[in-house]
């Protein structure tokens, strides 16, 4: 099994096997914490070989700096190679709504398939000044 793409973005869709991502990012700016992010989509494009065909349990989790989960999605996906192709791919799209980040810092998005850690990516929650505050004018 090979993870071809693993990313966080604003939105995504699958159009006839084509994974379309909108606004991939790794940083969220917030004026204060706790910060609520209205929508965050985690996407993965996974390639399997003939021997790995079938159903696979899936676990996506976003954890804080201490490893405590702030969001979890679980399920399963099925993928099969067609006409003796040596491999096949599938696209996974998981959308989280109204995530609360209690503090600034680096969070981690983890992907487990078949109960095996497959990929992790950082998600930085950074302080961002309020518009107009701290600006100087001549």
Q: Which domain does 89 fall in, by range?
A: 2-127
Number of domains comprising the chain: 1
**10-residue block means of pLDDT along the chain (138 residues)?**
97 96 96 95 95 95 97 95 87 97 97 98 92 49
In a domain, 135, yes or no: no
Q: Write down the pLDDT at residue 129.
A: 79
pTM higher than 0.85: yes
Rounded Cα distance between 122 and 131, Å, is: 26
Domain assignment present for residue 50? The answer is: yes
133 within some domain: no
Residue 136 belongs to some domain of the structure: no
CATH number at 87 reads 2.60.40.2550
Domain assignment present for 13 = yes
The DSSP secondary structure of 34-50, one letter per residue, reads SEEEEEEEEEEEEEEEG
Query: Which tokens sit at 106?
Result: 């680096």
């Amino acid at each position: 099994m090979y993870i071809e793409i693993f990313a966080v973005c604003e939105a995504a869709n699958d159009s006839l096997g084509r994974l379309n991502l909108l606004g991939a990012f790794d940083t969220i700016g917030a004026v204060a914490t706790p910060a609520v992010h209205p929508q965050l989509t985690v996407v993965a494009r996974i390639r399997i070989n003939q021997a790995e065909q079938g159903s696979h349990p899936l676990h996506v989790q976003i954890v804080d700096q201490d490893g405590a989960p702030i969001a979890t999605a679980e399920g399963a996906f099925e993928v099969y190679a067609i006409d003796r192709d040596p491999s096949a791919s599938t696209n996974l799209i998981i959308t989280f709504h109204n995530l609360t980040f209690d503090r600034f810092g680096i969070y981690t998005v983890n992907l487990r398939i078949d109960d095996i850690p497959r990929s992790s990516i950082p998600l930085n929650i950074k302080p961002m000044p309020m518009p107009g505050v701290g600006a100087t004018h001549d």
